[in-house]
Amino acid sequence: MEPPSLEQEEEKVLVSKHSWQPCPKARRRLRGCMEVVKGLLFRVGEDWYFLFVLGVLMATISFMMDLIIFRLYEAHRWLYQEVGDYLVLKYLSWTIYPVALAAFSTGFANSITLHSGGSGIPELKTILSGVELEEYLAIKNFGAKVVGLTCTLSAGSTVFLGKLVSREFQQEFQHKAQRQGRSAPCPLHDKFKQNEMLVAAQAVGVATVFGAPISGVLFSIEVMSSHFAVRDYWRGFFAATCGAFMFRLLAVFNSEQETIAALFKSNLKIDFPFDLPETFFFVILGAICGAIACAYLFCQRWLLAAVRENRLTGRLLATECVLCCVCLSHSLHPCVPQCVFVSPGASVCLIHPSSHSKPLYTVLVVLLLASITFPPGLGQLMASRLSMKEHLISLFDNRSWFVLAQNASMATTQLGDPRGLWQEWCHPSATIFGTLVFFLLMKFWMLTLATTLPMPAGYFMPVFIYGAAIGRLQGEVLALLFPHGIRAEGAVYPIVPGGYALAGAAAFSGAVTYSLSTALLVCEATGHMAHVLPIMLAVLVANAITQKWQPSFYDGTIIVKKLPYLPRIRSRHIASYRVVVKEFMEQQVVAVAKGDGFEEVLAALNATTDKEYPVIESKESPMLVGTISRAKLVAFLQSHEHPQAPPGPPQEKYITFSIPLQPASTGTLGEDCAVEPIVLQLSPWTSLHQAHHLFELLKLQHIFVTHYGKLLRRAIEELAKEA
């Protein structure tokens, strides 16, 4: 008699397990069909489902944040108006409200995780370069970002920080989106796909803030990736389109708009917005924005480093450490990464970070900024009563403020009227040009100071507004010099100051972030495409100047924070192409042999703190056979007996680990540990530029240099640390 087949056995198990359910064969077939359908669907479009949910979810969160921020900001405005004409009460209501929100944002976010401060783009660039930053994309960091950023933005233009990640996208969205992108089960060899999903998730942030899916994708690629596969464009465009459409659709459902429209409405639709001779002025605007961007980037990087190094502010911003001493038995302590082997009775300090003094620094800085922007004081010369969005709407006005100020009465209008927002820039004791110049001078150092605040914030929107003010000033000056417009070919073309504001916003923000997609961003955000050519010219000129003299905002922050990020090769001199790997490779490399035992592995771990070690055939024959991680070497030591360890079980007074130890072994490294194969090797005569391209393209942290298979050195791993 033949034994029962596998299908018959499965049917028997199914019937015995669910004997009360009818039709076991039909249920089994139906389950099989559903599995086939599921496999086909996810084989065809697994990424599509994830990206669709990602875009819709992030748009919903962004819209809900906007609602809360609007209510909190309106509450501040109502409180300021309701206190009456009492100057002291007005000052207190103007300053205490943003101070309280900023202090709560700093305290709450840093109490959840120490990674929640700032914009996060430098850290995300580091992650996309192949470096693992622990817990940076964790769900708790996302929650801290959402709450902290909501409070930060509710403070309004007093603090002059934006929702767009310091790079333009809402950081929190990037964190959440990228966390989701990494949480999907993915093999190690598919790490490139993870990075592509992270870039797509980054694009959702811009799309859900500006409603600009195309420029959102391009901006995320420019800012986050040095190399990007064109075939993966669809991920970013699909997710960004879903997010942007959902974000604008929610505004319609909430009765904010009658239909889907541009986020920042402009009235620049005239038959001839500019003429060919006028492009010269846009080139000059690009040069001005590039020069100011260089000064801003230098001052921002210098101040950020000075605040960290100063004794007083450094103590306020430093992470306090709570130390507790623990006595351990002879074993490896898993909580102390720098300590490889702990002898019996050794005392180890476990560090628990805390940051109780950071809110105090935030309170002092925000109080200073709020006092300066107090409307009855200096704030009346900076349009401080306007929100961030109202700043942009007023600066993009196509009418000349100088002409309006001469022909219109200075009667006070409601702030909600977009056509009357320009009056916030007028003052009886100063002209339009004076208020714009004062705004630029004050906001230059105020924005620089605000970037040092240890709370969740976005820095792209402030530089976007600052650039719009630069362009507006030049447009008003040209409108004054050419009151009847520029005559060309027998026709007169009027000066449109709002067009210069668009070009200034794109040029300055593009110069600060090293991106060209800001030219398209302003067109998508305003729905105005007529000025795209002069805007692009201004952006190109500004980028050319800034990239020559200063690192970008994000690269500068990476330098100050000393993140492990591979810097760009700034020199393109012909001599740099003759530099080869053997001239700059790391000289000290600790390797382990396949025949090494406890003593040799312990010595290697104590010698360096590398996360990965090269494995050679033997000391006599240093043929590179692979690599092994530090964690595996630690596990190897945990499963072996120390040759000098005292006999008998450890005493009860010592703390034991919760991780069960394997039975003691006396095997060698090659016998007990799996060696990972080598992905890539370099020759000593590989050029500098070739090696740099490989590091960027493959997202590697080190590449071993071999000569006829023999291990020599390791290439440029320490270059980023030294930079």
Looking at the chain, the whole-number percentage of residues with pLDDT higher than 70 is 71
pLDDT band at 645 (very low <50, low <70, confident <90, very high): very low
pLDDT of 653: 34
Q: Which residues are paired to 351 by β-bridges? A: 323
Mean local confidence (pLDDT), 492-520:
87
Q: Report the topology of domain 276-307+358-362+378-561.
A: Clc chloride channel (1.10.3080)
Please state the length of the chain. 723
575: exposed, middle or buried (Cβ count in 10 Å: 0-12, 13-18, 19+): exposed
- Contacts of 487-491 with CB under 8 Å at 24 or more apart are 488/275, 488/276, 488/277, 491/272, 491/275
- The pair of three-digit structure tokens given for residue 582, joined into one six-digit string: 């053997």
Q: Who has greater pLDDT, 253 or 13?
A: 253
pLDDT of 468: 92
- The pair of three-digit structure tokens given for residue 321, joined into one six-digit string: 């450490």
Inform me whether the pLDDT recorded for 383 exceeds 70: yes
Q: Who has greater pLDDT, 296 or 431?
A: 296
Contact 700, 680 (CB under 8 A): yes
Instruction: Enumerate the domain spans of the chain.
Output: 42-263, 276-307+358-362+378-561, 574-722
pLDDT band at 84 (very low <50, low <70, confident <90, very high): confident
pLDDT of 470: 94
Per-residue pLDDT of 136-186, as tens digits, reads 777 777 888 888 888 888 887 777 776 654 333 333 444 444 444 444 444
Model pTM? 0.76
pLDDT of 544: 92
- The pair of three-digit structure tokens given for residue 231, joined into one six-digit string: 């075939």
- The pair of three-digit structure tokens given for residue 370, joined into one six-digit string: 């709020």
Residue that is written with structure tokens 């490989």 in the block: 694
Contact 327, 356 (CB under 8 A): no
Pairwise CA distance, residues 226 & 219, whole Å: 12
pLDDT of 162: 66
pLDDT of 493: 73
Mean local confidence (pLDDT), 223-234:
72
Per-residue pLDDT of 512-539, as tens digits, reads 999 888 888 888 878 777 778 888 999 9
Report which secondary-structure segment, H or E, holds 710.
strand 710-715
Q: Who has greater pLDDT, 283 or 523?
A: 283
pLDDT of 564: 78
CATH of 574-722, one of 3.30.428.10, 3.40.50.300, 3.10.580.10, 2.40.30.10: 3.10.580.10
Mean local confidence (pLDDT), 344-368:
65
Same fold, 42-263 and 574-722: no
DSSP string of 196-243? HHHHHHHHHHHHHHHS-HHHHHHHHHHHH-SS--GGGHHHHHHHHHHH
Per-residue pLDDT of 649-658, as tens digits, reads 444 333 333 3
pLDDT of 37: 64
Contact 285, 474 (CB under 8 A): yes
Residue that is written with structure tokens 């705004």 in the block: 439
pLDDT of 467: 93
- The pair of three-digit structure tokens given for residue 271, joined into one six-digit string: 């038959």
pLDDT of 560: 86
284: exposed, middle or buried (Cβ count in 10 Å: 0-12, 13-18, 19+): middle
> Which of 240-244, 291-295, 305-309, 475-479 has the weakest average pLDDT?
240-244
pLDDT of 339: 36
Q: Where is mean pLDDT largest: 227-236, 318-327, 459-468, 581-590?
A: 459-468
Contact 332, 602 (CB under 8 A): no
Q: Who has greater pLDDT, 361 or 275?
A: 361
pLDDT of 663: 47
Q: Who has greater pLDDT, 193 or 717?
A: 193
Mean local confidence (pLDDT), 343-358:
48
Pairwise CA distance, residues 496 & 478, whole Å: 9
Q: Which CATH class is domain 42-263?
A: mainly alpha
Pairwise CA distance, residues 77 & 72, whole Å: 9
Per-residue pLDDT of 565-597, as tens digits, reads 777 776 666 777 777 777 677 767 777 787 777
> Which of 178-192, 241-255, 432-446 has the weakest average pLDDT?
178-192
